[in-house]
Amino acid sequence: MNVDVTPTPGPSAMAAEPPEIARVGVIGAGQMGNGIAHVCALAGLDVSLLDTRRDALDRGIATIGRNMDRQVNRTLISAEDKVEALGRIHPGIDYAMFDDCDLVIEAATEKEDIKRTLYKQLIPHLKPACLLASNTSSISITRLGAATDRPEKFIGMHFMNPVPMMKLVEIIRGIATDEPTFQAVQLLAHKLGKITAVAEDFPAFIVNRILVPMINEAVYALYEGVGSVSAIDTSMRLGANHPMGPLELADFIGLDTCLSIMQVLYEGLSDSKYRPCPLLVKYVEAGWLGRKTNRGFYDYTQTPPRPTR
């Protein structure tokens, strides 16, 4: 199933078969990376999972195990499925582990300079036919692809968080992305049980172009004293039927990630309506990044979490 409408490719594009993807590499064992490894392994793919820190890898594998346990308890998968899937995930800290991958998905932090540095370390270890995807939620795919030796095999594959539960994957072609790469990644997303939406290569694509400015506006409402944290979140949950209030959602996403996306929008579109709220900047400067640091717009060291403002 697909919600996008794409132009019919020309004869030369139709003649090229999409490459088969049997082994996937994932860079980054954090929230997004371990989720991507999780769904790939359950779909029967061999997965090489890399992080630069062994402790991050250990936490990532432990998270995958816990999340699969939840799926077993809800009878979404069997205990045997879990054991087999975990057996397909091969963690490591050396880029050489990607030498036989058909696709590598980069799920590093949302900073362009970090991603570019990572690609320089990665590319010498890839076979020529290997495809490369970024899970970036906002950065130009064309620009990232141009920083590699294979822009025609480079594509955006933006999973939603939490990956095992969320059905959508945004697919973003750079200006150089070829048709076989696009088709191969579409087929992979469907194999993972996802629904794809094709987005043009504009800052923040579709979901975050709409979602994160809403969060930023909620932070402005807090900053200007329009309402408290509780009042703003309650209003949007009950008044707009959102499952989470925007400030609770910001904590879930990570305030640093929200700020990075707003900065990409502000710089990329040169429109003052995308100016990051100064209060969001202040929270990030304080290291109050949300759930991952136990403090953001809520204090998660207590149950239930208490608003910090």
Q: Which CATH class is domain 208-307?
A: mainly alpha
Q: Which CATH class is domain 11-199?
A: alpha beta
pLDDT at residue 259, rounded to an integer: 96
224 is catalytic: no
Per-residue pLDDT tens digits of the chain, which is 309 residues long? 455 544 445 444 445 789 999 999 999 999 899 999 999 999 999 999 999 999 999 999 999 999 999 999 999 999 999 999 999 999 999 999 999 999 999 999 888 999 999 999 999 999 999 999 999 999 999 999 999 999 999 999 999 999 999 999 999 999 999 999 999 999 999 999 999 999 999 999 999 999 999 999 999 999 999 999 999 999 999 999 999 999 999 999 999 999 999 999 999 999 999 999 999 999 999 999 999 999 999 999 999 999 999
Residue of 67, 134, 208, 260 marked catalytic: 208
CA distance 216 to 279: 9
pTM of the model: 0.86
| Cα distances (angstroms) measured from residue 131 to each of 30, 105, 265 | 22, 9, 27
Residue of 34, 67, 135, 137 marked catalytic: 137
CB 180 within 8 A of CB 102: no
Sign of CA pseudo-dihedral 77, 78, 79, 80: negative
The length of the chain, given as a count of residues: 309
pLDDT at residue 3, rounded to an integer: 53
Torsion of CA 169, 170, 175, 179, to 10 degrees: 40
Domain residue spans of the chain:
11-199, 208-307
170 is catalytic: yes
Answer yes or no: same fold for 11-199 and 208-307.
Answer: no
Q: Give the relative orientation of helices 229-239 and 246-253 as an angle to the nearest 10 degrees.
A: 100
pLDDT at residue 121, rounded to an integer: 96
What is the bridge-based pairing of β-strands 298-299 and 195-199?
unpaired
pLDDT at residue 214, rounded to an integer: 98
Q: Which of 64, 67, 31, 27 is nearest to 48 (CA)?
A: 27
Residue of 106, 110, 170, 248 marked catalytic: 170
